[in-house]
Structure 1
């Protein structure tokens, strides 16, 4: 007997949830208060800008510097390579500063 009284309530709750989920397309983010589409558009633009700046910085490196970075990245977990002098070599200070500017610009967005 209680099952027959409970069934209409459950059906009403399920149908109202379905209507809200179908027609309630204007969602807001919990913390920001903007729609998810707007925030994803902003992050996509920021990533595109970072990508362009990063590739410009990467192209400014000489062939030797690019080879050094590649070798260091590939052998990051090689114990013998980590003990070598080649692992401890750094890029010139101006290259590091220009990369820091690229990262700062990305984190500011």
Structure 2
């Protein structure tokens, strides 16, 4: 079960984020964007596979490594394996049904 919370105050540079089991959205309009929601649901699955807390640690470490290497916050964010998997598959609305366990590993 996914819980949606709408909040404009948390977001200035992005439209939403997934924090298991919640998808925070900048506005209710994003709930109707199937591609955006699919992207966030991919993150929820990744979080479950890593038992939630290790996901955030891995995410932060990967971001820092890429930030040092690429010297750009945006490029570092896009280089994170979790984001690479989510962006590559967000248009495939059936992806989560056929996704293998720990599929993000192929994006490292």
TM-score, normalised with respect to structure 2: 0.29
Relative contact order (C-alpha < 8 Å, sep 6+): which is higher?
1
Larger radius of gyration: 1
Q: Which has the higher strand share?
A: 2
Q: Which has the higher helix share?
A: 1
